[in-house]
Each structure stands twice: as C-alpha cells, then as structure tokens.
Structure 1
Amino acid sequence: MSALSNWREPGAILLLSCYEQGHQPFHLASLSAILQQDGFAPHAVDTAIDTLSDEAIQQARFIAISVPMHTALRLGEAVARRVRQVNPGAFICLYGLYALLNADHLLQGTIDAAIGGEYEEPLLRLVQAREQGQDTAIPGVRTREHASGAWIARTPFLVPQRRQLPALDRYARLQWGDDLRIVGYTESTRGCKHTCLHCPVTPVYQGRFFAVPQQIVLADIRAQVEQGARHITFGDPDFWNGPTHALRIARALHAEFPEVTFDATVKIEHLLKHASLLPEMRELGCVFIVSAVESLNDTALLRLDKGHTAADVRRAFALTREAGIVLRPSLLPFSPWETLESYIELLDFFEQQHAIEHLDPVHLSIRLLVPPGSALLAQEKSQRWLRDLDAENYTYRWQHSDPRMDKLHERVSAIVAQGENCQADASETFFKVKAQALAMLGQDFSPAQALSAYGPRDVLPHLTESWFC
C-alpha cells in the first residue's frame, strides 16, 4: 500500500510518541490541535502503549516523532529507522529538545528535519510547505539543506486534542496509601527563566519562558477529568517560573474540581523564596512537589549553577513537611564533581531524615549527560573531564577523576535495574546501593540490618511509574 496522495486525508500525517514519563503524550495532543485547526487529519500513536502497524507507516506521507528527552530520542530514532525501512519515501521529522540538540547526527541518516523549542507552528509550516511542494527553509526547522536554530516565539496555544490517544487509565496512576488515582497531564508554562548548565532546556530556550493562557490549561484539565482523571501532573520545567500564574490556575482547578489533586515541579530556590505559598498549595490539592535537588555537594551544585546549596535543600524538606506536601527529589549523583564521600553523605541524608520513601531508586544511578549544545561545553573547566562526542548516544563522553566513581555508577545501575525488574521495595534497593558505596571504601555494611533499623516505611503519594530523563 502506498502513501496517501492527499495530504489532508486521515493518516497522511502520522504523529508518534515513544516515552513521556508514564503520561498520556501531551506533545501529540498539542500538535494534533494545531494541525486539525488547519484542516489536516493526523493519526496519533503512542508506541509506548500501542503497536505501530506497518500499514499506518505505509499510508503516511509525513511522520513526526516526539523526542522531548534523552530516553525518548533513543526510542524515537529506532522507530525512525523502522519507518525508513517500511516507507522509504516518507518525510520524517523529529521534534523536541533533544531533536534539535542532536540534529547534526540525526540528519546524517534517518530523518529529514529536526525541530526544537516551540514546535507546533514550525511543524505546521513544514507540513504546509511539503504539501505545496515549496522550499522547506522555515524558521525553527533544521534540515540537511537549511540550518536553523530553535523557534522561540509565543505559540498560538490551543486546547490539546486527545481523542485519538490511549485512555488515561492505561498510564501511570497516583498511589496514595490504598488509593490509586487516574492521572492527567498538562503544562501551564513552556521553557524556563533559569539556565542551569546541565539542563537541555537551557541551550534551546536560553532563559525564556511562556505562560499558557489559563483558559487553555483549564480546558485541557476539564477534558481529562471527564475521561476519569482524579490527579493532574503539571509538567512545566518549573511551575513557579510565574508563581502568580501558577497559583491562579491551582485555585481555579480546586474551585471547579475540589476532589482533584495535583503535583508540580518547583526549583529549590523557589520553594524557599515563595515558602508562604506552600500551605495554600496544600489546601488546593498539591500532594507532592518534584524538585531537582541533584546533589548535596556544594561544589557540584555550583558547577551546575543550580542556584541552591545543600543547606537550602535541608530547609526545603523542612518547609514542605511543615506544609504537608511531600518533596520528591530528582538527583544527579554521578557528575565530575561528586565524590565517593559526598555520594555516601547523600545516602546518609535520606536515611537520617527518614526520607528514603521520597526517592525513586532510579535517581540514585543518574549520570550527567552532556548533549551537543549543552551550556556546560562553554565552561573552560569542562575541558578537564570532557572527552569526545558519542553522537550515537547523544552525549559527550566524560570520565571521573576518581575511577571508583565510574565503577560505582556501573554497579549502582545494575542494582537499581535488578530492583526494578524484581519490583523490590525501594528501601531494599537503597540499602543495597549504600552497601556497594561503602564497599568502595572497604567498609562492611548489612542492608538487612539497616532496613530493620530504619523501621516502618511510610506510603507517600507517588506515581506508579518511576520516571527519568
């Protein structure tokens, strides 16, 4: 079966997602809305949930694959290679942060275009140009023939169209004690006004962010509540980039759906600066906040330009506990500046604070990624630990000055993976990791004894799928 001749026939445009951290793919829903408004009839498939058929690939003339982060790109490039085999004549575009950062590599082979930043309008213009047989020199669209940076201009926001997507009950749930809640996902802002040096948002948005109109966000939430959502994840890089905007949306959400809870991502420095907002956030239904703690090593935090210190992290834990909100940290414990001693101190902190339950074990194994275009590349001191570009893995290689840390990373990754495969208790995995770290110092440690001494574990609100970048 050949590709459809009419670009506006159903299936002529195929939208694919591979991984969006256990959520129904917002990026497909948002792109579907702007394409449908222009008269196209895209077909959307979440390959993390459903099977992508050869027939769907063969029918398509234009295939767009969402790759917002590293894991999504790894999966997305594999899908693109399959698409090229099944339908050699299809035009393949990857869109998302990691598409643009890795465009030089991607355009050498499988794909025809890459888009980063605010992707909806450039992608629509690209589809229109292909339909009309026009040149694809479009701002924000990188091709083999035309170099273009990110399109960082305000998107004409529309309510995401989710009708084609898998049902919400097929994705991660919120587990809160014995209660399992269907989870929806939306975004109230795009980009970030902060420029943490390791973050992939930084080289693309360069400190800019855009607020999504409140009526758009609420309409998207409303549609998901109608589909059964009882909890909403706000996927903004930082929900408090615009705290007034965020609070207005949270208030409106609670006023319309008082039984619906939510979670959001907030920087440590914002938790301290706007600590007075935390009690109201809890009253409005916020059950946990994700924050990029990364490390408790002040040297590492300074090199990453995180804007907080280890003391700030301790204060943030105290403030959120006082407000009745769970703080769930994301970590980056393997970087050139972490030491074996500071890694163990990080583990000690969570054990002593009785906060192991706040962690997803995968975060104990996260290693610094340095994609092409990373702001870290411009740092003079980076040349001491940077090696060559591993384009096929979308990152520059780097080596720790202490060989024990690279060995520890390999062993911790294996322990975490085994724990995930066996669905082991997170605390058991934690203490196995600690035993491995202490073994590097020649110290004996009994995970079983430590687990017994730790005592009862709280069942804190969390999503049932561990997420990672």
Structure 2
Amino acid sequence: MHGNILLLSCYELGHAPAGITWPAAFLRRAGFSPQVIDLATCELDEGAVREAQLVAISVPMHTALRLAVPVARRVRELNAAAHICFHGLYAQLNREWLLENVADSCLGGESEQALVALCEALARGESAPMPAAPLLARPDYPIPDGSGLAGGYAELLDNGHSVQAGFAEATRGCKYTCRHCPVTPVYNGRFFVVPVENVLQQVRKQVAGGARHITFGDPDFLNGPRHALRVAEALHAEFPQLTFDITAKVEHLLDHADLLPQLAECGCLFIVTAVESLSDHVLEILDKGHTRSDVERALAVTRAAGIAMRPSLVAFTPWTTLDDYLELFEFAAPNALVGAIEPVQFTIRLLLPPGSALLDHPEMTPHLRGLREEDFGHRWEHPDPRMDALHCEAVAVAEEGGDDATLFHALWSVARSAAGQPPPPMVVATPGPRLSESWYCCAEPSPGLLKLGEASA
C-alpha cells in the first residue's frame, strides 16, 4: 500500500477489542502490517493517522459508535486523503448516515475478509466494491492478534481478590432473533462456530500474558451446546486452574440445564443472562423466548450447578409500568441478587437503532417520535410521563456512584418515591464473581458514560 493501515477501537466494555484483534489477524495473514490502537486505553497517534492510507474504525456497539464519530472527524482533519472504513454491527445499522457524513465505506457481519479485499484494492490504486448487505459467508478464521495493544483491561473480582481477565470468542453471530438485539438485523439468525483449536490458541496467548480468567464474548455461548462443551472441556484439560464466564439466554439455561454442572466443573464461575424484564408482556414483545417463571427456574438450576447468575436488564421500555419496575427490586432483594445485578442495569433504557426489528412492531409504533440521527437511534416516549422522569432520576443516582448495596437502596427508593411509597429497608449485597467493568447491552449510553469514553479516547 502507498500508506499504512491503522485499526482503531474506541470502546469494548473494558476487554481487549475483538473489533481490531480479528481484523489485524486477517490482514497480517494477507501480508499487511496494520497498526492497532485502542482509544479506551491510549491516545490517538496523530502521526500514525497522517501516514495512513486506510483507517478502519471498529463499532461493535452503540457507545463505540458515538465515540467513534468525533474520532473519524479528527482523522479527516489530519489526513483528508485517508480512506475511512467503519466496520462492526453498528456500522451496518447506521451505514447510510456514516457514508453521508464521515465514512468512505461501511462493513458489517463477517467483514474481515472484505476489509482485506479493500486493502488489496487500495494497494493497487483501485476502489473495492462495498456490498450494502451484511457479509455472512463463513470465513477461515486466523487466531486473533492483539500485538501492539497497550493492555490495562478488565479484571476478575472474586472474594476480595483480582486477577487479570482475558477475552475469547467461540462463536460469532446468534441463531436467535430477539427483536431488540442489534445482532438480529445484521446476522438474521445465523451464527458461526470458531474451531476449538482456534479458541485454545486465543486463550494460550492470553494465559502466557498473565490471564487467569477468560470472558467469552459470544452473544450466546450455548448457541451450539455440543461445541460449547467441547471448548470448555478442552480449556479445562489444558488449563485446569483457569476460570471463565459466558453469556447465555434464559431459554438455553433451561434447555441445557444438564450441561451446567459440567461447565462448572470446567471452571465456569458466572453466566450473564439477558433477563431483560419480569413482565411477560414485555418479554413477549421483545421475543425473548422466556417468561418470569422461567427466570426463577433458570436461577435455581444455575445455582444448583454452582454457577452464579448475573442478570442483565432492559429496565425501561415503552411497556414497562411503574409496578413492573418496582418488581425488579422486589425480585432481586429476596433472591440474593443485589450485586449480581449491577446497579447500571436498573437504568438501561431500550435502544432503537436504525434497522431494529422492533420498529415495525404494532406495540412499538404508537411510542415512536422519530430518528435522532446525531444519536443513532429512534426516539420513543413512555405513555406514563412518570417513567421517563424516573429514568432520568435513576441515571442521576447511578452516576453518583457507591457500593452495590447503597446504589440498590437509592435506586429502589427513587422508584418507590415515584409510586408514593416510603423508602425500602437496606439490603445487604451478596458477594460474587464479577468483572471490574460493568456489562451492558442494547442500551442508550448515559451522558456520564459518554464523557468517560470521550476522556479515555
């Protein structure tokens, strides 16, 4: 190429950014020498930007996209001739706006090979065709390559101790089509298995670098249950002291309950599961595939296997009533989930990016108030004004900070006040394994989170 290749990541929930480690591996296998920069841990290298012929920016989530746009504008100021490519889930969902404003190309789905083709075309002085549809051909996966990353990523916190946490992926995409999920409009029910040996190679490199715990970033680790068990068993056979965590649907925890004790024996400490709501009405609209009673059963089977459950929520939707919101606290307290549900989860408001499968749902359309292009999401209002006001209060409380028990009590108190009820009693948080960076998804980022990200970028 006439110039360098620069791969940028802005934010990936505190772990090493797969959005640049995978592309780096594909490009290096093809003979290129990309430079990688994670703006969550270091500053933009303006000298590298000036020398780049291609700047590829990873946007796997909404917050990353919000942070990436000003970065792209700075890249353009420094190097007007550079080709700026956005890639990842939110590049595909916001393709039209990005191409009109800050990007020369956008890639979504299994996009790494197309990025290689783009680099090859630029090296020849040509332009590569950029498909509008997501790329869903099964690739030949190299081993993700984090060479050049500065480190300083999330740690596992457990029993007062912390250890370095790594990150791996055993599958990509998802076979389910939950209506609110950003994976749905891009992968449309497809997922791709990463070979077991590839996963082991991912882990070996990170264990050699000091990792003692691995977070699996698959949208759902149990999409391929037999593959998941093979990965876990191979991991445990080679690294018997290594622990890990996964993400899995409530439905999968019940359908594959027989696998949970085996996963625990292999080192699974906790499972993040998208409970989202305890309202069967809300769950039906989201097409989550589970009910409130299923959540109770999943909690029981997970704990029986010796694995902690860490529920994630979409606490505010157009259909969530004040009673529904209160029920989240009333369920968490007696079930020893204070702390297992991170305080930020009680502030999560439904995000509606362009292309969301919810936009055409008859239950959604009455609440829509138009697309906010600058925020990359469709506005919606709750039919009960108290709920929108409560969301603002909850965000303000969460951003004040504090320990889990204090924040849980403060958030519950705000909710009870909105309902004209007195403050609740204090509840003790139950200690359990967790990562040092809060996990969240399908959410509008709070102003505080954006400021934090902008400061790191």
Q: How does 1:339-378 map to 2 (within 5 A)?
A: 339-378=321-360
2:79 corresponds to which letter in structure 1? N
Q: Secondary structure at the match of 2:146?
A: coil
Show CA shifts across 1:342-401 (max 9, x none).
100111000121211211111110000111111112323321111211111011000111
Alignment pair present for 1:442 and 2:420: yes
Give the C-alpha shift of residue 341 in structure 1. 0.5
Residue 312 (structure 1) aligns with: 294
2:418 corresponds to which letter in structure 1? M
Give the C-alpha shift of residue 39 in structure 1. 1.2
1:211 corresponds to which letter in structure 2? V
Alignment pair present for 1:157 and 2:141: yes
Q: Secondary structure at the match of 1:24?
A: coil
Give the C-alpha shift of residue 111 in structure 1. 1.2
Q: 2:171 aligns with which of 173, 178, 189?
A: 189
Show CA shifts across 1:32-70 (max 9, x none).
111111111100000000111211111111000110000
Alignment pair present for 1:61 and 2:39: no
Q: Secondary structure at the match of 1:352?
A: coil
Contact 1:17 / 1:67 at 8 angstroms: preserved in 2? Answer: yes
Give the C-alpha shift of residue 153 in structure 1. 1.0
Residue 115 (structure 2) aligns with: 123
Q: How far apart, in 2, do the equivalents of 1:428 and 1:354 lie?
A: 15
1:252 corresponds to which letter in structure 2? A
Give the C-alpha shift of residue 227 in structure 1. 0.4
Q: How far apart, in 2, do the equivalents of 1:427 and 1:119 lie?
A: 43
Contact 2:89 / 2:109 at 8 angstroms: preserved in 1? Answer: yes
Q: 2:363 aligns with which of 365, 381, 405?
A: 381
Give the C-alpha shift of residue 137 in structure 1. 1.6
Q: Secondary structure at the match of 1:348?
A: helix
Q: Secondary structure at the match of 2:333?
A: helix
Q: How does 1:209-358 map to 2 (within 5 A)?
A: 209-358=191-340
Residue 70 (structure 1) aligns with: 62
Given the two structures, how large is their TM-score scaled by the length of structure 2? 0.95
Alignment pair present for 1:390 and 2:382: no
Alignment pair present for 1:467 and 2:439: yes
Q: How does 1:84-163 map to 2 (within 5 A)?
A: 84-139=76-131, 148-163=132-147
Instruction: Please say which of residues 61-70 and 437-446 is displaced more in the overlay.
Output: 437-446
Q: How far apart, in 2, do the equivalents of 1:371 and 1:98 lie?
A: 8
Q: 5+ residue gaps in structure 2? A: 442-457
Give the C-alpha shift of residue 459 in structure 1. 1.9
Q: 5+ residue gaps in structure 1? A: 140-147
Residue 29 (structure 2) aligns with: 37
Instruction: Please say which of residues 404-413 and 106-115 is displaced more in the overlay.
Output: 106-115
Instruction: Please say which of residues 283-292 and 349-358 is displaced more in the overlay.
Output: 349-358
Contact 2:106 / 2:130 at 8 angstroms: preserved in 1? Answer: no
Q: Secondary structure at the match of 2:369?
A: strand
Contact 1:105 / 1:392 at 8 angstroms: preserved in 2? Answer: no
Alignment pair present for 1:6 and 2:12: no
Q: Secondary structure at the match of 1:30?
A: helix
Residue 458 (structure 1) aligns with: 430
RCO higher in structure (CA 8 A, sep ≥6)? 2
Contact 2:347 / 2:398 at 8 angstroms: preserved in 1? Answer: yes
Q: Secondary structure at the match of 1:108?
A: helix
Show CA shifts across 1:86-119 (max 9, x none).
1111110111000110111111111111111111
Given the two structures, how large is their TM-score scaled by the length of structure 1? 0.92
Q: Secondary structure at the match of 2:359?
A: helix
2:414 corresponds to which letter in structure 1? Q
Give the C-alpha shift of residue 26 in structure 1. 1.7
Q: How far apart, in 1, do the equivalents of 2:369 and 2:133 lie?
A: 25
Give the C-alpha shift of residue 337 in structure 1. 1.1
Q: Secondary structure at the match of 2:101?
A: coil
Give the C-alpha shift of residue 458 in structure 1. 2.8
Show CA shifts across 1:133-188 (max 9, x none).
2232243xxxxxxxx11001112200111221123xx1110011122111110110
Q: How far apart, in 2, do the equivalents of 1:274 and 1:365 lie?
A: 30
Q: 1:176 aligns with which of 155, 158, 164?
A: 158
Give the C-alpha shift of residue 288 in structure 1. 0.2
Q: How far apart, in 2, do the equivalents of 1:113 and 1:467 lie?
A: 29
Q: 1:428 aligns with which of 386, 406, 431?
A: 406
1:459 corresponds to which letter in structure 2? P
Show CA shifts across 1:427-453 (max 9, x none).
11111111111111111215xxx22xx
Contact 1:33 / 1:159 at 8 angstroms: preserved in 2? Answer: yes
Residue 455 (structure 2) aligns with: none
**How many residues are matched?**
441
1:41 corresponds to which letter in structure 2? S
1:98 corresponds to which letter in structure 2? Y
Residue 183 (structure 2) aligns with: 201
Show CA shifts across 1:311-363 (max 9, x none).
00011111111111000011001001110001001110001212112111111
Q: Secondary structure at the match of 1:288?
A: strand
Contact 1:301 / 1:308 at 8 angstroms: preserved in 2? Answer: yes
Q: Secondary structure at the match of 1:342?
A: helix
Give the C-alpha shift of residue 6 in structure 1. 2.8
Q: Secondary structure at the match of 1:434?
A: helix
Q: Secondary structure at the match of 2:140?
A: coil
Q: Secondary structure at the match of 2:84?
A: strand
**CA RMSD of superposed structures (Å):** 1.1
Q: 1:415 aligns with which of 373, 390, 397?
A: 397
Q: How far apart, in 1, do the equivalents of 2:201 and 2:354 lie?
A: 37
Q: Secondary structure at the match of 1:40?
A: coil
